Copies of this chain bind each other. A is one copy, B any other.
Amino acid sequence: MRPISSDSMHFPQILSKLKRGPQVILPKDIGLILAYTGIGKESVCIDAGTGSGFLAVALGNVAKNVTSYEKNAQFFALAIENTKRAKLENVKILHKDIFEGIEEKDADLFTLDMADSDKAVPLAHAALKSGGYLVGYLPHAEQAQKFVSACRTAGFSEIFVLESIVREYLAREQGFRPENTGLTHTAYLAFARK
């Protein structure tokens, strides 16, 4: 069987220009975040950790502005380069650990993709405005459980967890069918509303 090439990932133009780090958030999950939180042109977003900056750029493409925290120097440098490639001036990448403190307030969306995202839930709650959404990107089931539990403790309501399985189809003369192999998992996405 064929390995899965990154070309079959179908990044939109703004993301296809970016340099990819080891684990980027893919359009299928970016789509869940955009559509279930309903962020738009007036939305203020906070993101941590930045990683390669794919999510920050995708949010910046849609929202008013994005502030993204990254403590790792290499990822920070990559994300800075990627925001330049994307030509987005409303995305600010900070080389800083969010546990050292967040200055932004009244955010509409706070996205967390870190090893210990659950520990950052109270910080996210404090930085969100009432009605704002927190989203956790959580590869493992246990992380999703801990994150949801932290959301309950922090006082979030409307907590739900989604998983998106996206299959690509071949539409050819010999017939219509899904690809034989492909992506089968990225992460569970937990949503919580303040």
Contact A171 B186 (CB under 8 A): no
Residue of B nearest to A3 (CB): B3
**Chain A residues touching B, majority SS:** mixed
A12 at the interface (CB under 8 A from B): yes
Q: Which residues from chain B contact A153 at a C-beta distance below 8 Å? A: none
Binds B, one of A44-52, A97-105, A120-128, A135-143: A135-143
Chain A interface, number of residues (Cβ within 8 angstroms): 66
Contact A142 B176 (CB under 8 A): yes
Contact A171 B183 (CB under 8 A): no
Inter-chain CA distance A129–B13, complex, in Å, is 14
Inter-chain CA distance A58–B1, complex, in Å, is 23
A78 at the interface (CB under 8 A from B): no
Q: Which residues from chain B contact A170 at a C-beta distance below 8 Å? A: 161
Q: Which residues from chain B contact A149 at a C-beta distance below 8 Å? A: 171
Contact B10 A38 (CB under 8 A): no
On A, residues with C-beta under 8 Å from B are 1-4, 10-15, 27-28, 30-38, 40-41, 58, 61-62, 131, 139-145, 148-149, 158-171, 174-186, 188, 190-191
